[in-house]
Structure 1
Amino acid sequence: MTTTQVLRYTVGAIGVALTGLGAWLVAVEPDPWGVLVWLAGAVVLHDGILAPLVLAVGLLLVARSQRGLWRGALIVAGSVVLVTLPLLVRPGEPPNASALPLPYARNLVIVLAAVAVATLAVSLVRRGRQPVRRWRERRQRRTATGD
């Protein structure tokens, strides 16, 4: 048995054990159907809405050379929104006064703006380097051909 096979079986066994642990935790939950509905909703939200939306916007926004950068920015922005949104849309007062000690809505907008500005800056720097790269390639071809 190779090292890769041992690693593959070990990771697979850990995955099966964690799946069993998760199933056991759901089974001992006072309301297991509520947890299962929540999990199904999370899968539908992620696989049916979020992931295709991020990919579609990535295809529409940018040229082929910049697609990965913008997709990464959208994944970061979506993750930040998914972490923050439950705190923002929860009805009523938080059970713990320290749960929302800061203005999360304002901070979410600031973080999303920072992600957008950083992504735009990297995109512009990459775009600015392309003419220099093309010029170097042409110069190298001329030197190689003796022009």
Structure 2
Amino acid sequence: MRAAAGLRVAAGATGAALLGYGAYLLWTDTRAGTPLRVAWWLAGALVLHDGVLAPLVFCLGLLLGAGRARGVVRAGLVTAGCLTLVAGPVLLRPGRPANASVLPLDYPRNLALLLAAVACATLVGVWWRRRGR
């Protein structure tokens, strides 16, 4: 038990140190106004997560995840929600980039393929839970 607590403290200290270093670089190595824009972006991400993603996953988990497979359904929903949030900025970008090599892939198709893979994995997990017990 002590080793696990020590690992948690070490991981937390490492994360805090890296966060501090990132904040230092953001403050010193960027143009004026960038830290404020990053703060607004992070606030928007927090509101989007806590105001949209978490309640949606909770409600869908209650509706769809009855019985033994509830955890599997919620894990699939959380994964799909996080994938959608990560892909959001690329999918919602205004217009085409000036440099075609900046975003060269078909991101809507790739997101759809990833969400289909998550749905398939979730269905397999639900089937496995219901079959196995």
Give the structure-1-normalised TM-score. 0.70
Structure 2 match to 1:10: 10
Structure 1 match to 2:92: 89
Query: Structure 1 residue 7: deviation in Å?
Result: 4.1
Greater CA deviation, 22-31 or 5-14?
5-14
Query: Structure 1 residue 9: deviation in Å?
Result: 4.4
Query: Structure 1 residue 38: deviation in Å?
Result: 1.1
Q: Is 2:78 aligned against 1:75?
A: yes
| Identity score, percent | 52
Greater CA deviation, 96-105 or 4-13?
4-13
Task: Please give the residue correspondences for 1:1-147 in structure 2 after superposition, counting only pairs within 5 Å.
Answer: 3=3, 6-28=6-28, 29=30, 30-31=32-33, 32-130=35-133
Q: Gapped runs of 5+ residues in structure 1?
A: 131-147
Greater CA deviation, 99-108 or 49-58?
99-108
Instruction: Answer 1 or 2: higher relative contact order, Cα 8 Å, separation at least 6.
Output: 2
Query: Structure 1 residue 14: deviation in Å?
Result: 2.4
Give the structure-2-normalised TM-score. 0.76
State the SS of the aligned residue for 1:94.
coil
Q: Gapped runs of 5+ residues in structure 2?
A: none
Distance 1:3 1:94, change over 3 A: same
Superposed CA RMSD in Å reads: 2.4
